[in-house]
Amino acid sequence: MKDYYLLIGLNGKEIKILDVNQRGNGLIELDIENRKKKVRCPICNKFTSSVHDKLKPIKSVYLDSCGSKVDLIIHKKRYHCYNCNKIFTEQLNINTSKGNISNKVKIQIRKDLLNYNLSLKYIAEKNRVSITFVENEMLDIISGMPKYVVNLPRVISFDEFKADTKEGKYAFILNDPIHKKVLDILPKRKKEYLLQYFTHCNNRYSVEFVISDMYEPYLLVTQIMFPKAKYVVDRFHYTTYIMDALDDIRIRLQKLYGEKSKEYKLLKNKKNVSLLRKYSNEINWWVFTKRYKNGHMVDTLPIDILDDILKISNDLMEGYYLKEEFLDIIHHPNQMNVETQINKWISKCIEKNIPEFIETAKTISRWKEYILNSFIDERYSNGYTEGTNNKIKVIKRIAFGYKSFELFRGRILYIFNGKISGSMKHKNDSKVKK
């Protein structure tokens, strides 16, 4: 019997195992009761040993251990307190007064909820409880979560991810990129909604930097709500415009040559596309790549592949070198004349008269002030946010969506923060509808 105490981690000084039953399928049922002869009255705090009666045993799902599923059959007694003349039910530290799920299972569920690779359904099956029970545990966690962020750090970032909520296609994510924290998740990114939300922040004038992309409403929200902050366009987002311009040239040429041409095949190949988009200083030009040539598989250097691609069109070649020149500015910026470098690049785009890069140059020119802010400090980027968004996609995909946005929001905040930030304020009206 001693082995069973060790197996499931029961305190033998407090709990007594009455019987052990092997139920098959690896299930073990342990009949247990309180070993203590005297218990403390919850009303007057005096000890009593007077048993009034015994209750019907209740089954409690316990933690799985060593490949075995364990259920506890708990035998409880009711006691009579002579001091205050009250009848009360003894309480064990195994489970709460309500419900038949052990505290250890609840703790394990909360640990599992921190793992973004686990769905609510999987957590329920793993712990032998209903999915409703897991959802209720998540809702209990959410009940302690605030509705608004009250105090913001000096550097914040805005972004969105596809959520497909009732309120809109995109959800809004507010992060602290310096300390790598998710501050809040909002159901929509509309300007009016964000303006209303940020009115709850006490220190809006203390925010120094807002990092985001080239989404106009985010800029307007920053200018109105954080008048002392510099708006920083994240490098990833404005370089994406450059890459997309080059990609648009490639797609234009594919359509021009047709699917049966060798040019089409060169331009369509995924490895070749990656080669075009990648910064040349990050490519190992001396590693051979397998490719078909004249009906045979041959070893070819990346430099030769790139040369074949760029020979297809002068626009593609010029676009490629414009891309490279822009990445040179980003990777090796001269802080004294980075604005001059960008201005020269914009002028060159106009001069080359490539439609795709003319449009991109106009966009870069329009957002230039905020692009230049990204050179103030290398830490001012949305790198953390992009990584966060990738994990959120996993959370959403594994769960096949959430029936409640607040449940979804709560899960994200719980996963990334583990606990509630002390800088946040709880609102009693933030109840979740199941």
Tell me the pLDDT tens digit for each residue of 199-226.
999 999 999 999 999 999 999 999 999 9
Q: What's 375's DSSP letter? A: G
250 by DSSP, 3-state: which?
helix
Determine the pLDDT at residue 4.
64
Q: What is the pTM of this model?
A: 0.77
Give the whole-angstrom CA distance, residue 100 versus residue 83: 30
pLDDT attached to residue 286: 82
- Six-digit token string for 346: 């914009």
Residue 36 identity (one-letter amino acid): K
pLDDT tens, position by position, 34-53? 888 899 998 999 999 999 99
CA dihedral 30, 128, 144, 179 (to 10 degrees): 110
Pairing status of strand 27-34 against strand 69-75: parallel
**Euclidean distance between CA atoms 300 and 291, whole angstroms:** 7
The beta strand positions in 1-86, using DSSP E, are 15-24, 27-34, 39-40, 47-48, 51-54, 58-61, 69-75, 77-80
Query: Which residues, 6+ apart, have CB-to-CB distance to 8 below 8 Å?
Result: 30, 62, 63, 65, 70
How far, in Å, are 220, 258, 277 from residue 192 at the CA level?
10, 47, 37
The residue type at 395: I
Predicted local confidence at residue 103, as pLDDT: 80
Amino acid making up residue 90: E
Q: How many residues make up the chain in this entry?
A: 434
In contact, 302 and 285? CB cutoff 8 Å: yes
Strands 51-54 and 77-80: antiparallel
**What is the pLDDT, as a whole number, of residue 175?**
94
Pick from 359, 263, 269: nearest CA to 316: 263
Q: Say how far residue 420 (Cα) sits from the centre of its chain.
A: 16
What integer pLDDT is reported at residue 382 of this predicted model? 80
CATH architecture of the domain covering 148-233+381-418: 2-Layer Sandwich (3.30)
Q: Which amino acid is at 400?
A: F
Q: Report the mean per-residue pLDDT for the chain.
A: 85
Give whole-number Cα distances, 335 to 329, 339, 397, in Å.
Answer: 10, 8, 42
Q: Give me the pLDDT at residue 96, please.
A: 56
* In 76-138, beta strands by DSSP E: 77-80, 87-89
Backbone angles phi, psi at 73, to 5 degrees: -100, 105
Residues of the chain with pLDDT under 50: 420-434
**According to the model, what pLDDT value does residue 6 have?**
61
User: What is the per-residue pLDDT for 207?
Assistant: 96
